[in-house]
C-alpha cells in the first residue's frame, strides 16, 4: 500500500531536540484527527526512540537523528527513527525491560517496553558500528470524518 502523505526530518542528536522531534511528528499526524490519548502515545514512543539514539546510539557525540513518517489510507502510521551510531549487539537483550547500556547514569532500561506499550508494533533493526532503526506502527482511530487527505 502506498503512503498518502510522508515527511522527513534530520536534526542534531542533542537532548533539546527530543521535544522538537515528538512535536513535529504529532503536528504531521494531526490531519488524521487523532484522540489526545493516541497523540500522547505516539509522542511518548517517538521520545523514547529519539532518546535511545542520543543516549545509546551516539553516546557523547553529536550526529544526526533521522525521522521519516508515513500516513496510509487506512489511518495507519509508520514512523522510522534512525541513527548512524554504534548499533545494538543483541537486539533481543536490548528489548528486555530494565536492560541498559548506561547503568552508571541511572537509566531505567524501559525504552523499548514503553514504546511497545504505546503503539501497535515496534520493529528494531541494527548493525553494530552502523546504527539502528526503530519502526513504530500505530492505527489511528480518527475522531473526525477526515481520511487523512484534508489539510
Provide the grid cell at 52: 535511545
48 is catalytic: yes
Question: Which residue is catalytic, options 38, 48, 76, 84?
Answer: 48
Of 58, 66, 51, the closest CA to residue 9 belongs to: 66
Question: Which residue is catalytic, options 5, 107, 137, 147?
Answer: 107
User: Can you list the alpha helix ranges (DSSP code H) found in the chain?
Assistant: 17-29, 36-52, 91-94, 111-118
Question: Which residue is catalytic, options 18, 22, 52, 75?
Answer: 52
75 is catalytic: no
Of 18, 89, 75, the closest CA to residue 51 belongs to: 18
Provide the 8-state DSSP code for 56. I
52 is catalytic: yes
Q: Give the catalytic positions in this structure.
A: 48, 52, 107
Amino acid at each position: 500500500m502506498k503512503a498518502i502523505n510522508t515527511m522527513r526530518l534530520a536534526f542534531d542528536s542533542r537532548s533539546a531536540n527530543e521535544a522538537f522531534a515528538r512535536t513535529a511528528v504529532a503536528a504531521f499526524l494531526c490531519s488524521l484527527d487523532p484522540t489526545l490519548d493516541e497523540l500522547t502515545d505516539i509522542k511518548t514512543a517517538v521520545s523514547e526512540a529519539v532518546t535511545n539514539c542520543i543516549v545509546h546510539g551516539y553516546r557523547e557525540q553529536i550526529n544526526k537523528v533521522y525521522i521519516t513518517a508515513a500516513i496510509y489510507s487506512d489511518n495507519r502510521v509508520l514512523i522510522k527513527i534512525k541513527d548512524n551510531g554504534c548499533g545494538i549487539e543483541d537486539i533481543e537483550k536490548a528489548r528486555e525491560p530494565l536492560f541498559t547500556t548506561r547503568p552508571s547514569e541511572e537509566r531505567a532500561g524501559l525504552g523499548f517496553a514503553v514504546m511497545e506499550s504505546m503503539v501497535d508494533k515496534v520493529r528494531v533493526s541494527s548493525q553494530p558500528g552502523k546504527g539502528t532503526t526503530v519502526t513504530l506502527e500505530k492505527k489511528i482511530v480518527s475522531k473526525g470524518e477526515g481520511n487523512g487527505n484534508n489539510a
